[in-house]
A = this chain, B = another copy of it.
Amino acid sequence: MNANQPATRGRGGAGERQISRVFRALADPTRRAVVAQLSQRPASMTELARPFKMALPSFAQHLEVLEECGVVQSRKEGRVRNYRLVPQPLAAAENWMVTQRAVWEQRLDQLEQYVERMKSEER
């Protein structure tokens, strides 16, 4: 029952697995900060690492997690590795959240209408 185990228990296909990996990647404040930084502009590994008090190899591992789930892409240019955000995997995870909220809000609306109806019948 470990959030880190591969999400391959037969529920859904590749899409579900990618959503699991994106959520897992976002479950860390350092990685979320990197995503926030790359939302503003592409950046090199050195630039991205600057705000963090962390050894570069540890930081590089965070970038790897983000790259493995497709949220960022990197490219070596000369001696510099540059990173950019890839919005699609984040959008898929966001869509999942939006869908649940829509279902929940619809139910709440129905409940509200029901209460209103009961009230007006009471009068």
Contact = CB atoms under 8 A, between A and B. Distances in A.
Interface of A: 1-4, 7, 9, 11-12, 16-17, 19-21, 23-30, 32-33, 35-36, 39-41, 58, 61-62, 65, 85, 87, 90-91, 93-94, 96-101, 103-104, 107
Contacts of A12: 29
Copies in the complex: 2
Given A24-B23, A27-B27, A29-B7, A93 B97 contact: yes
25 contacts: A1-B62, A3-B3, A3-B28, A4-B4, A7-B27, A7-B29, A11-B30, A11-B33, A12-B29, A19-B32, A20-B29, A20-B32, A23-B23, A23-B26, A23-B27, A32-B96, A35-B100, A36-B99, A36-B100, A39-B100, A39-B101, A39-B104, A40-B103, A40-B107, A91-B101
